[in-house]
Amino acid sequence: MSAWIWILTGAGLAFAVVWAKARFAGFTAQRPEDYEDDHPVFDIRQQLNGPIVCEGIIYGPLGRVSSRFRADFDASWDGDTGVMKEHFVYDDGSVQDREWQLTLRPDGAIVARADDVVGDGLGRQSGSSVLLRYRIRLPEASGGHVLNTTDWMYLTPDGTIMNRSQFRKFGIKVAELVATMRPASV
């Protein structure tokens, strides 16, 4: 019986360590306030405006690269309301289009909507970063699953945006995206 107690205690301790790391030290533990004093300041109306080139990779659930892509974005703003059209071309030849409706509130909060996003995406710009959380519905060809997404974008001094996103189902990370975004004219 003591072996079972040791196994259960060990499993419980391992679970507690994994949970504490994710909660307090992992990717999802970041907060917009962590970046509020960082420069350059990320204003989505400026950095996500005009034609943008995006290149990235997607890691699958085992941490291996599962896909590569290039995307062309075109974003425009009318005051604090913006539209960003995205056209992705993946390494397998498939394409995907998305159109975001973006609203920036005076306090830096962001509301984002798109056809494949369930409900409203919510986020915040703070210092050199932008956080956006939303639930995305995958295409039927990819199973049609709804994944919880955490998007972090970081503005670099030369104006390039580094994007890291994690996709979770039932709290388990099932994919991760890393991409760069830069004005198409650069």
> Three-class SS string for 33-70?
HHHCCCCCCCCHHHHCCEEEEEEEEEECCCCCEEEEEE
Closest CA to 176 of 82, 66, 59, 89: 59
Interval 54-97: pLDDT, tens: 999 999 999 999 999 999 999 999 999 999 999 999 999 999 99
Query: How far is it, in rounded angstroms, from Cα 109 to Cα 111?
Result: 7
Query: How far is it, in rounded angstroms, from Cα 120 to Cα 112?
Result: 6
Q: Give the CA angle between residues 161, 141, 102 to the nearest 5°.
A: 35
Interval 164-185: pLDDT, tens: 999 999 999 999 999 999 999 8
Question: Maximum Cα–Cα distance for the chain, whole Å?
Answer: 68
At 47, list the tokens. Answer: 């950095």
Interval 126-152: pLDDT, tens: 999 999 999 999 988 888 999 999 999
Residue 22's pLDDT band, with cuts at 50, 70 and 90, is low
Q: Is the whole-model pTM more than 0.75? A: yes
